[in-house]
Structure 1
Amino acid sequence: MNQSIERLLVLYTGGTIGMQQSAAGLMPASGFEARLRAQQALEAGPLPSWTFRELQPLLDSANMQPTHWLQMASAVRDAVAQDDCDAVLLLHGTDTLAYSAAALSFLLLDLEIPVLLTGAMLPAGSPGSDAWPNLFGAMRALQAGQVHGVQLFFNGVLLHGARVSKLRSDAFDAFAEAPRKRLAAAASERPPALLPQRPAQVVVLPLYPGVGAAQVRALVASGAQALLLECYGSGTGPADDVPFIEALRHAHRQGVVLAAISQCPGGHVDFDVYATGSGLRDAGLVSGGGMTREAALGKLFALLAAGLDHAEVEHWFCRDLCGEMAD
C-alpha cells in the first residue's frame, strides 16, 4: 500500500545541482529554495508540499567527510522527531553521493520514513541540465510511495542506497547498481539501531603488486579502527608475504577490524576458493561478500560509530542489514 507524503523535507547539502559560477569556478550557492519554488510553478502535475533546509556549510561533495554523514543523519532524525516529517529528499553532489547513500542506509537503519538522495551532473539552469528532472522526478517517486528505506534517484531510476556506485563522470546515467553476486535472502537476526556515539576512522587499502607490511603498519599507526582491504578477485592477496600477514595479525590483535571486499566491479569474496584467500581469512579478515566499497565503508563506519566492540562489528559486518548483501 502506497503511503502518501504530507510533510516532505528538502535537505540541501550543496553539490552541482545548486552551483553557480564564481571567479574560481562553479561553487555551491545559497538561495536554492527560491529557485526551486520558481521552477515548481512551471511543472505540470501535483507535487508534495515541502519545507526546505540548507545544511551548513554547503559543500562541493568532493569535500564530503564522514562527519558530514553524521550531520546529515542528525538532520534527518530531527526532521522526523521535531518537525514530524514523513519523508526526506536530500540534495547532494555526485562525486560522493553513493558513499553518503550507503552510510545513511546504515546510520538510519531504524528509521521508518523514506529517505531519497539525488543530485545533478549539470547545475540547475544550465542548458540541457538534468537537475530539475532529477529533483522533481524524485519528488514524484516519493509521492507515489515508491521509495523504501534509503534510496537514490538519478536519471529516472530508483537505486538501492547501499548497492549503488558512480560509474561514469560524463553522462546523465552516471549511477548504477554494481552487478555483484549476493547472498540468497534469508531470515536474519534483527540488527541494533546504529545510533552514532562518536566518529569512527575506517581506512581503505586496495591491494596491488608491491603492497606490504609497511602500508598496513602506517594505516594502523594513523589511528584506523577498521581496515577495509580491497582484495583481488574472490578475496585473495599476497598470503606468502610473511611480514604482510604478520602485520595484519598484529593489527587484529590490537583490536583493528579487518574486512575484505573484492576490487573487481563484479567481484565477490569467497576465502575458500584459493589458498591465498584462506591465508587472509586466517590473519583475521572477515568477508564482505559482494558489497561495494561504498557499502562496506559506510557499514563499518556506522557499526563503529555506534560504539559496538570488535567482535560485534565483525558479527554484524558479515550479516545483511538492509539488502546490501542479499537479493
Structure 2
Amino acid sequence: MQQPSYVTVLYTGGTIGMQQGPQGLAPASGFERRIRQAQAGMADRTGLPEWRFIELSPPIDSANMQQANWLAMRDSIVDEASRGECMGILLLHGTDTLAYTAAALSFLLIGLPIPVLLSGSMLPAGVEGSDAWDNLFGALRVLQRGIPEECLAAETVPGVHLYFAGKLLPGTGATKFHSEAREAFQVLPRTTKRPVLDAWPARLDYRQRRATVGLAVLPVYPGLQAAQLQAVLGEGVRGLVLECYGSGTGPGDDEAWLRVLREAHDRGVVLLAISQCPSGSVTLETYAAGSRLQQAGLVSGYGMTREAALGKLFALLGCGLSQAEVEYWLPRSLCGEAAGPARQG
C-alpha cells in the first residue's frame, strides 16, 4: 500500500491571505501562488513536505463564520482523508473564530486517521513584521515530522490542534486571549473530573454527517432577568451554553429565572453550564445556588472552554442524539476537552 505523500493545505480565508481593499483588509483568492513564491524564496526549505492546495470558495473573514462553514470544512477534510494519499491537513483560518472552529472540528472529526492543524496569522502575509510565513511553514514542518506524542490526547490520536507562534495547542482547549500580539492563543489551566473513554459511539465517528443546530451562549450577570433568558431560549434553540459564576452558580433564589430553565429543559433543550472564570471547573453541587441550577436541568461542563462547549453541543445534537443521550456524553471526555499546557512545536 502506498504511503501518504503530501499535506493538503485547505485555505478558508482569514487575515493570513487578506489584501487591502477600499473598505479595509478583505479575504482574497490566489493565495497558493503567494505561498509557493514565499517558499521558493526561503533560504532553508528543509523539513517541508510536498503539499497540494484547496480553496474553499469564497474565502471568508472568520468573523463571518457559520456552522455551515464548519460542515463544509469537515466534508473537505473527510474527502481528503479518504484518498489515502494525504498525511495531514493544514487548515488556514482567520484568528477571530479560529479556536471555535478548532473545537468544532475536534468533535466532528473523532477517529480521523490523519492529523489536522489549524493556523493563521495576526498580520497578512507580505506585510512587514507579519507572522504568516512562520506560522504556515512551521505548521507544515510539524505535519511532516508528525505530532509529538506528548501533545496527543489519548482519546483522539492524531486529533485536531492549533499551531500558532511556534506552539501546538489542543483543539478543544485553546482560546484567543489577545487581539494584537503574535502569541494570541493560549490554553488556560482547567481541571476536570471526567473519565477518559476507551471508545466513543459510532454515531460520533468522523464519517457520520452532521446538520446545523440552533444554539445559544449566554453569560450570567447581575440583573439578568427571566424575560431576557426566555428571549435567548426562543424558538429553534436546542442547546444553551450558560456561562455561570465561579464553580457554577447563578441566581438560585429567582423562581421566575429557574422556571424558564425548567420549561426549556422540559421541551428538550440541552442546558450546559460552564464557568466564566478562565481557570478551574464547574461543580454545580458545591453551593446551593448551583444545586438549584442543576435541579432545573443544567449539566456540568466541568473545565470546558466556551469554544469547546459550543463545539461539543453542535456535534452531539447535529448527529441526531436525543436530549438524554447528549446529556450522557457531555460530562464524558471525547477528545481531550480537559485543557492542557501548550507544547513547543
Common topology (TM > 0.5): yes
Asked if 2 retains the 8 angstrom alpha-carbon contact of 1:14 and 1:59, the reply is: yes
User: Structure 1 residue aligned with 2:255, among 223, 242, 245?
Assistant: 242
Give the SS at the match of 1:138.
Answer: helix
The residue number in structure 1 matching 2:177 is: 167
Assess, with a 3 A threshold, how the Cα gap between structure 1 residues 27 and 151 changes in structure 2: closer, same or farther: same
| Counterpart in the other structure of 1:129 | 130
> Which residue is 2:343 aligned to?
none
For 1:250 and 1:85, how far apart are their aligned partners in 2? Answer: 48
Residue aligning to 2:8: 9
SS at structure 2 position matched to 1:182: coil
Q: Distance between the aligned counterparts of 1:192 and 1:216, measured in 2?
A: 35
Q: Which moves more between the two structures, 177-186 or 242-251? A: 177-186
* Pair 1:190-2:200 in alignment: yes
Question: Which shifted more, 84-93 or 236-245?
Answer: 84-93
Matched, 1:142 2:143: yes
> Which residue of the other structure, out of 274, 279, 283, is the alignment partner of 1:270?
283
From 282, 293, 302, give the equivalent of 2:295. 282
Query: Are 1:292 and 2:270 counterparts?
Result: no
Task: Give, in angstroms, the shift of residue 216 of structure 1.
Answer: 2.4
Query: Take 1:227 and 1:185, find their aligned partners in 2: how far apart are those partners?
Result: 23
Q: Secondary structure at 1:55's aligned position in 2?
A: strand
1:187 Cα deviation from its structure 2 partner: 4.7
In the alignment, residue 72 of structure 1 is paired with which amino acid?
M
1:100: how far off? 0.2
Q: Is the 8 A contact 2:197 2:333 kept in 1?
A: no
Contact kept, 8 Å, 1:185 with 1:326, in 2: the verdict is no
Conserved in 2, the CA contact under 8 Å of 1:228 and 1:260?
yes
Aligned residue for 1:228, secondary structure, equals strand
CA contact (8 A) 2:189 2:339 kept: no
Structure 1 residue 159, shift from structure 2 partner = 0.3
**How far is the alpha carbon of 1:185 from its aligned partner?**
5.6
Aligned partner (choices 158, 161, 167) of residue 151 of structure 1: 161
| 8 Å Cα contact 2:194-2:333 kept in structure 1 | no
**Alpha-carbon contact 2:11-2:55 (below 8 Å) kept:** yes
Change (3 A) 1:13 1:216: same
Counting aligned pairs with the same residue, the percent is: 56
Deviation at residue 301 of structure 1 after TM alignment: 0.3
Question: Secondary structure of 1:87's match?
Answer: strand
The normalised TM-score by structure 1 is 0.95
2:183 corresponds to 1:209 = no
Determine whether 1:252 maps to 2:265.
yes
The secondary structure found in structure 1 opposite 2:233 is helix
1:314 to 327, 332, 336: 327
8 Å Cα contact 2:4/2:85 also seen in 1: no
For 1:177, the equivalent position in structure 2 comes to: 187
Q: Is the 8 A contact 1:17 1:122 kept in 2?
A: yes
Q: What's the offset of the Cα at 1:86?
A: 2.5
Q: What is the rounded CA distance, in whole Å, between the counterparts of 2:210 and 2:180 in structure 1?
A: 38
Match 1:261 to one of 265, 271, 274: 274
For the residue of structure 1 that corresponds to 2:163, the secondary structure is strand
